[in-house]
């Protein structure tokens, strides 16, 4: 292995190169070697200035996150940074790739900073539930002012080299190759006898006396539930109110507090889970994939348009196949709209407009590499559609089902090529970052790998599963919420409790937004298999039978005003009261904590069943689906991580208690919950 750090002499310049792939994280061994070589360069009388740069694809991307939570080993990142600040000769940081977190802090302690044009700089610590803990919160406001510093630190925004230069964060944008131009810059610093510019010696000042309070109020709603953004503001306050050394100490205290917080633990878990989710055990990284040059999405409805817009970002030819002239005309008209409505919703809206066409010509099926069924509303229709595609398409074409609740094995079995069949589920009309890829029993690894690669190329996170996960868990969550309505709660109370927990929307507002017909159809399809209480809880059909299909229809669990804002509806509440009476249920005031626990535990319990049945391979797949698909608060780490933090014995006991209290059989803890609770284990430590 090449050394992690080297020191070369070029005339009177010392060039320190870091080489710690993939992202030059500041690991312990790297810090140790770096300090030793810096000390050597400081002591070497033949070296007048030092350039620090990195081999590989990036400058230092931060502290080594894998060391977090372990006993700190000296020298720590702040020690390295302060060593550079106190250097007796100019130190120049030469940046490329991403200079992030501790990496940018190291650069800020240097006396000059230069970057190539493609470099990006920032403090993403806040996304890990942390703050820059190696002087970043003290130096950045001193260098670029409080307002710009708050923006970078609190929002984790990355800036380009040009922007960084405009802000005064770097001294120059230089040409490539980096190493040579950095040395030339170093030589200039010496030639011009530029002074040692220590950022720590500058002064940070507020623009207005109430600036920090005003900023805090302005971010309160956006960062609701998170701890780190508010600690970041406090650290910046220290930069303006305290001398540098005392400010560093305050920053350290706040950093240590965050590091120990459940919020940061959950966010760090989410960081690694997001990278792990795409590496599925059993699907080798080198699995071959098929080329995707053309995709036909069959249908022109909401689902089809959302899928088409997604794919158009990554596949050269994406065509929506209309069933009728009317559909074709409507879709073409919708494609022409310039607002972000309909087709262009989602992250890839721009590309979607450029790359998508619509046709009536079904002969296109014979040329497609991927055919997506997005028009059928039930399993029978989906089966017959896939059988038709099977006959019409060429060998090797991949056939995709998109029903969120469908049994993918049943659908695949209606074709003569089950190895080529797979299901996908996009969330929030394709705007969510997660895509569930549902492989059937016989789906070939090549087909799974092709879909995983496609999803990654869309900038989204793929979760490879054996059947519906998110929607299946949502059904149980909603069912519990409906039982609460039956027992005495109203939608706005349940939604408020889940919103306060950290969801953007509670289960009723979420269902209204997605459309109640989806859950209703699913309920009808499996009515016979429901337990007696679920069958008797007919609230969903009563609401849908009134045409209240949710937000689009103007009413669902709420009524909606012209701007789509939900309004609690007395008619709905009257319906609830009548329903409870018919069922012989005496309505009661249900405490918030009961609402929260019953809804969350229903979710967790179904997650346990999903794991037990191996529909999801790992708890992290479920956590990613819920964080990205349903906006489960990332600072709680996802339902399975959260359950582990609560302790499964407590979850099991509470479920049994509620079951006894409300005599609801379905709340029996899943066998996996029982087993783990008995063994004092969690989902993430399951045998």
132 sits near ligand 3H9 (criterion: CB under 6 A):
yes
135 sits near ligand 3H9 (criterion: CB under 6 A):
no
399 sits near ligand 3H9 (criterion: CB under 6 A):
no
Q: Which of 8, 125, 274, 327 is catalytic?
A: 125
Count, residues near ligand 3H9 per rule CB under 6 A: 25
Please enumerate in sequence order all residues whose Cβ is within 8 A of that of 32, keeping only pairs 6 or more positions apart, or say none.
Answer: 75
Q: Which of 105, 251, 351, 594 is catalytic?
A: 105
CB of 210 to ligand 3H9, least distance (A): 28
In terms of CB distance, is 25 or 481 closer to ligand 3H9?
A: 25
Tell me how far CA of residue 546 lies from CA of 32, 489, 542, 543, in angstroms. Answer: 70, 21, 7, 5
CB of 78 to ligand 3H9, least distance (A): 6
Tokens of 427: 């969330």
Q: Output phi, psi for 202, to 5 deg.
A: -80, 170
Q: Which of residues 632-651 bind ligand 3H9 (CB under 6 A)?
A: none
Q: What is the dihedral of CA 162, 167, 171, 173, to 10 degrees?
A: 0
CA atoms within a 13 Å half-sphere pointing along the CA-CB vector of 236: 30
Number of helical H runs and strand E runs in the chain: 29, 19
CB of 76 to ligand 3H9, least distance (A): 6
In terms of CB distance, is 282 or 416 closer to ligand 3H9?
A: 282
604 sits near ligand 3H9 (criterion: CB under 6 A):
no
CB of 170 to ligand 3H9, least distance (A): 18
Q: Binding residue for ligand 3H9 (CB under 6 A) from 14, 90, 102, 550?
A: 102
Q: Is 112 helix (H, G, I), strand (E, B) or coil?
A: strand
Tokens of 258: 């965050």
Give the separation between CA 687 and CA 675, rounded to whole angstroms.
10
Tokens of 596: 């929260």
**Candidate ranges 22-30, 88-96, 141-149, 661-669; the one touching ligand 3H9 (CB under 6 A):** 22-30
Give the separation between CA 654 and CA 646, rounded to whole angstroms.
11
64 sits near ligand 3H9 (criterion: CB under 6 A):
yes
171 sits near ligand 3H9 (criterion: CB under 6 A):
no
In terms of CB distance, is 15 or 63 closer to ligand 3H9?
A: 63
CB of 128 to ligand 3H9, least distance (A): 5
524 sits near ligand 3H9 (criterion: CB under 6 A):
no
Tokens of 172: 């120059």
Q: Is 506 helix (H, G, I), strand (E, B) or coil?
A: coil
429 sits near ligand 3H9 (criterion: CB under 6 A):
no
Q: Are strands 112-116 and 98-100 parallel, antiparallel or unpaired?
A: unpaired
The beta strand positions in 91-170, using DSSP E, are 91-95, 98-100, 112-116, 120-122, 158-160
Q: Binding residue for ligand 3H9 (CB under 6 A) from 3, 29, 36, 66?
A: 66
Verify whether residue 125 is a known catalytic residue. yes
In terms of CB distance, is 100 or 610 closer to ligand 3H9?
A: 100
Q: Output phi, psi for 208, to 5 deg.
A: -150, 150
258 sits near ligand 3H9 (criterion: CB under 6 A):
no
61 sits near ligand 3H9 (criterion: CB under 6 A):
yes
Q: What is the 3-state secondary structure (H, E, C) of 37-54?
A: HHHHHHHCCCCCEEEEEE
232 sits near ligand 3H9 (criterion: CB under 6 A):
no
Q: Binding residue for ligand 3H9 (CB under 6 A) from 7, 54, 63, 544?
A: 63
100 sits near ligand 3H9 (criterion: CB under 6 A):
yes
Q: Binding residue for ligand 3H9 (CB under 6 A) from 101, 141, 506, 638?
A: 101
Give the separation between CA 165 and CA 115, rounded to whole angstroms.
9
Q: Binding residue for ligand 3H9 (CB under 6 A) from 18, 134, 455, 497?
A: 134
457 sits near ligand 3H9 (criterion: CB under 6 A):
no
Give the separation between CA 406 and CA 376, rounded to whole angstroms.
11
Roughly what angle, to the nearest 10 degrees, separates helices 592-612 and 671-678?
100
CA atoms within a 13 Å half-sphere pointing along the CA-CB vector of 45: 0
Q: Output phi, psi for 465, to 5 deg.
A: -135, 175
In terms of CB distance, is 127 or 211 closer to ligand 3H9?
A: 127
77 sits near ligand 3H9 (criterion: CB under 6 A):
yes
**Candidate ranges 21-29, 369-377, 432-440, 615-623; the one touching ligand 3H9 (CB under 6 A):** 21-29
- Helix segments in 488-633, DSSP class H: 491-501, 507-514, 516-525, 532-536, 539-545, 570-582, 592-612, 619-629
Tokens of 8: 């070369």
Q: Interface with ligand 3H9 by CB under 6 A: which residues?
A: 22-23, 25, 61-66, 77-78, 98, 100-102, 105, 124-125, 128, 130, 132-134, 136, 275
Provide the annotated active-site residues. Answer: 105, 125
């Amino acid at each position: 292995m090449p050394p992690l750090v080297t020191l070369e002499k070029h005339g009177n310049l010392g060039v320190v190169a870091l080489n710690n792939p993939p992202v030059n994280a500041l690991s312990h061994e790297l810090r140790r070697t770096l300090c030793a070589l810096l000390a050597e360069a400081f002591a070497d009388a033949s070296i007048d200035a030092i350039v620090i740069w990195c081999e590989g694809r990036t400058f230092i991307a931060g502290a080594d996150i894998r060391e977090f939570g372990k006993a700190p080993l000296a020298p720590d990142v702040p020690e390295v940074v302060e060593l550079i600040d106190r250097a007796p000769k100019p130190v120049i940081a030469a940046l490329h790739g991403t200079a992030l977190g501790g990496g940018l802090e190291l650069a800020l302690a240097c006396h000059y900073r230069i970057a190539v044009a493609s470099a990006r700089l920032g403090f993403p610590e806040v996304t890990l539930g942390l703050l820059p803990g190696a002087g970043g919160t003290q130096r950045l406001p001193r260098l670029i002012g409080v307002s710009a510093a708050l923006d970078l630190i609190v929002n984790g925004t990355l800036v380009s080299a040009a922007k960084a230069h405009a802000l005064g964060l770097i001294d120059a944008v230089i040409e490539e190759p980096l190493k040579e131009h950095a040395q030339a810059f170093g030589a200039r610093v010496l030639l011009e006898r530029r002074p040692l510019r220590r950022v720590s010696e500058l002064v940070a000042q507020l623009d207005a006396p109430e600036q920090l309070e005003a900023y805090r109020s302005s971010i309160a709603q956006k960062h609701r539930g998170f701890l780190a953004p508010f600690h970041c503001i406090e650290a910046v306050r220290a930069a303006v109110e305290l001398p540098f050394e005392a400010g560093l100490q305050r920053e350290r205290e706040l950093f240590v507090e965050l590091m120990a917080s459940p919020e940061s633990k959950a966010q760090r878990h989410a960081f690694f889970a997001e990278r792990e989710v795409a590496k599925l055990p059993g699907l080798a990284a080198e699995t071959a994939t098929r080329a995707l040059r053309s995709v036909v999405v069959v249908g022109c409805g909401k689902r089809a348009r959302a899928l088409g817009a997604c794919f158009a970002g990554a596949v050269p030819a994406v065509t929506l196949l209309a069933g009728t002239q009317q559909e074709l005309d409507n879709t073409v008209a919708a494609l022409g709209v310039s607002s972000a409505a309909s087709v262009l919703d989602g992250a890839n809206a721009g590309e979607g407009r450029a790359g998508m066409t619509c046709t009536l010509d079904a002969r296109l099926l014979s040329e497609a590499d991927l055919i997506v069924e997005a028009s059928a509303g039930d399993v029978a229709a989906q089966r017959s559609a896939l059988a038709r595609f099977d006959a019409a398409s060429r060998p090797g074409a991949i056939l995709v089902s998109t029903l969120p609740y469908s049994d993918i094995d049943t659908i695949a079995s209606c074709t003569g090529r089950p190895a080529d069949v797979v299901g996908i589920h996009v969330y929030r009309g394709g705007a969510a970052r997660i895509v569930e890829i549902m492989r059937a029993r016989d789906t070939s690894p090549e087909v799974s790998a092709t879909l995983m690669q496609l999803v990654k190329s869309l900038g989204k996170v793929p979760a490879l599963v054996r059947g519906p996960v998110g929607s299946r868990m949502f059904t149980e969550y909603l069912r519990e919420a409906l039982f609460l309505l039956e027992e005495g709660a109203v939608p706005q109370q349940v939604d408020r409790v889940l919103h306060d927990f950290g969801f953007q929307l509670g289960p009723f507002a979420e269902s209204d937004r997605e459309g109640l017909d989806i859950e209703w159809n699913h309920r009808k399809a499996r009515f016979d298999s429901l337990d007696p209480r679920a069958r008797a809880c007919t609230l969903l059909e009563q609401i849908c039978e009134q045409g209240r299909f949710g937000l689009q229809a103007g009413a669902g669990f709420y009524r909606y005003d012209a701007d789509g804002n939900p309004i609690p509806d007395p008619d709905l509440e009257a319906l609830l009261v009548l329903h409870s009476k018919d069922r012989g249920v005496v309505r009661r005031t249900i405490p918030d904590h009961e609402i929260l626990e019953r809804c969350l535990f229903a979710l967790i319990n179904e997650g346990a069943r999903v794991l037990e049945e191996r529909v999801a391979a790992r708890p992290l797949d479920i956590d990613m689906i819920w964080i990205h698909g349903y906006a489960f608060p990332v600072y709680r780490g996802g339902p399975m991580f959260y359950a582990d933090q609560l302790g499964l014995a407590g979850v099991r006991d509470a479920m049994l208690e509620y079951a006894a209290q409300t005599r609801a059989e379905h709340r029996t803890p899943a066998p996996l919950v029982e087993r783990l609770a008995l063994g004092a284990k969690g989902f993430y430590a399951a045998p």
